[in-house]
Amino acid sequence: MEDEIQALQKAADLASEIAVNYGFQFFAALIILIIGWQIAKWVASLVLKLCTRMNLDITLSKFFAGVAKIILLAFVIIIALGKFGITIAPFIAALGAVVFGSTLALQGPISNYGAGLTIILTRPFVVGDTIRIDNVIGIVEEIKLAYTLLSNEDGEQITVPNNHIIGKVIYNSAENLIVEQKLTISYDDDPERVIQIILGEINKNPEVVSDPGVQIGVENFADYGIELGLRYWIPTKTYFQIKYEINKSIYSALCSENISFPYPRQTVHIEQTS
């Protein structure tokens, strides 16, 4: 029992000594971290406002603000560690060894961050643009260092790793997306008259982009009719909705004008043998 009391006494003495020797340093380090965190947030907000005032892209503005915040926090942590007499040289050496050892294991994520940095600095697209990469089409919602977030008309969120973007052919059509269609009419109908009917129906829709304008013309001469090509731009966010409305309007207008829609036909001859 006496030994246990002595052990508890030694532990209490040790805790008291640590509190006396390091209590002030711990308190000072905590104050430094709290103040440093607030200053870093204030500087990041200031950088963001300055970039916005200079009309910089929102993605670049957020990137510069984030970098400023991280740099300030790093200095604050170094100062806080110094209060305990801890030098950062061993940590830097250990961090270098860890980074070197994990390079192969983290090759994918690291390449994503490198590609993200390239996208942010070169800006092949910005938030709000409509981009197409391979078979993926969407509106850019956010550009992160690791990935780019897209959305479509159905409300789906599409996450594209940045290393799948760099090095690929990127189609950027800003806020709009093109509609490309074919429509076949009979050789008995006047193509110019049909074109004017279609053009009038497309231009009735206020969502159709005026620049570039609507393009309609004879695309091909098929075996069973004249193929007309249609090209016009509409907002990506309501692409299918507007496209379906215009198609319905065109069909109704052509039917009311007695324009026929030919289709392939086959004649079958049946021979009877006795």
Q: What are the CA-CA distances from residue 10 to residues 4, 6, 16, 17, 89 (Å)?
A: 10, 6, 10, 10, 34
Instruction: Using alpha carbons, select from 85, 86, 88, 83 the residue that is nearest to residue 24.
Output: 83
Which domains are present in the chain?
A: 9-101 (1.10.287.1260), 124-172 (2.30.30.60), 176-256 (3.30.70.100)
Residues of the chain with pLDDT under 70: 1-25, 57, 59-60, 82-109, 265-267, 269, 273-274
pLDDT value at residue 104: 47
The encoded tokens of residue 180 equal 């490309």
pLDDT per residue as tens digits for the range 58-101: 766 777 788 788 888 887 777 777 666 556 566 566 556 555 55
Please report the pLDDT score of residue 179 as a whole number. Answer: 94
The rounded distance, in Å, linking the Cα atoms of 230 and 260 is 18
Closest among 120, 119, 121, 99 to 110, alpha carbons compared: 99
pTM strictly above 0.75: no
